[in-house]
Amino acid sequence: MFEAALVNLCTRDIEAGIRFYRDLLGFEEIFRTPSDDVPSHVELRLGGFTVGLGTVEAARRLHGADPEPGRPSMVLVIWAVDVDPAFERLVSAGVPVVRPPHDSGNGNRAALLQDPDGNLVEIVSKIR
């Protein structure tokens, strides 16, 4: 009945979102529309996980929705090899910090940051 899924985040600035997910977190862009101009939607993949970015304008135009990017109601969790150097790389690129690296239980170490729209992004790794 169902074949695949992805998380689609609404964004006020799709180019900033692309830079964050592609350039800072290492996602690979696999789809964009339109392909010859500033996109209204892109899909990016890391491992087997796909995140979509869609503009607020596209959500209004296509679905009649009125999204409010950055209202933290979910956390996108991304596993890293080692949280501490990953955190330092993101912070040096200007990514806003909610909580710096800390031992979070179950043998994990995590940090909580925000993407360009204020969505929560947790980076986590096993404690070495």
Same domain, yes or no, for 13 and 39?
yes
pLDDT exceeds cutoff 90 at 4: no
What is the pLDDT, as a whole number, of residue 2? Answer: 65
pLDDT exceeds cutoff 80 at 88: yes
Alpha helix locations (H) across the chain? 14-18, 56-63, 83-92
Q: Which of 22, 43, 65 is the last residue of a domain?
A: 65
What is the pLDDT, as a whole number, of residue 102? Answer: 95
Same domain, yes or no, for 52 and 76?
no
What is the pLDDT, as a whole number, of residue 65? Answer: 83
pLDDT tens digit sequence for 10-51? 999 999 999 999 999 999 999 999 999 899 999 999 999 999
Q: Which of 48, 65, 82 is the last residue of a domain?
A: 65
* Residue 96 lies in domain: 70-128
Number of domains in the chain: 2
What is the pLDDT, as a whole number, of residue 123? Answer: 94
- Identify the band that residue 3 occupies on the pLDDT scale cut at 50, 70 and 90: confident
Same domain, yes or no, for 21 and 55?
yes
How many C-beta neighbours within 10 Å does residue 80 have? Answer: 20
What is the pLDDT, as a whole number, of residue 89? Answer: 96
- The Cα–Cα gap between 89 and 38 comes to 27
Same domain, yes or no, for 8 and 53?
yes
* Residue with tokens 């979070």, as numbered in its chain: 104
Q: 1-5, 21-25, 44-48, 55-59: lowest mean pLDDT where?
A: 1-5
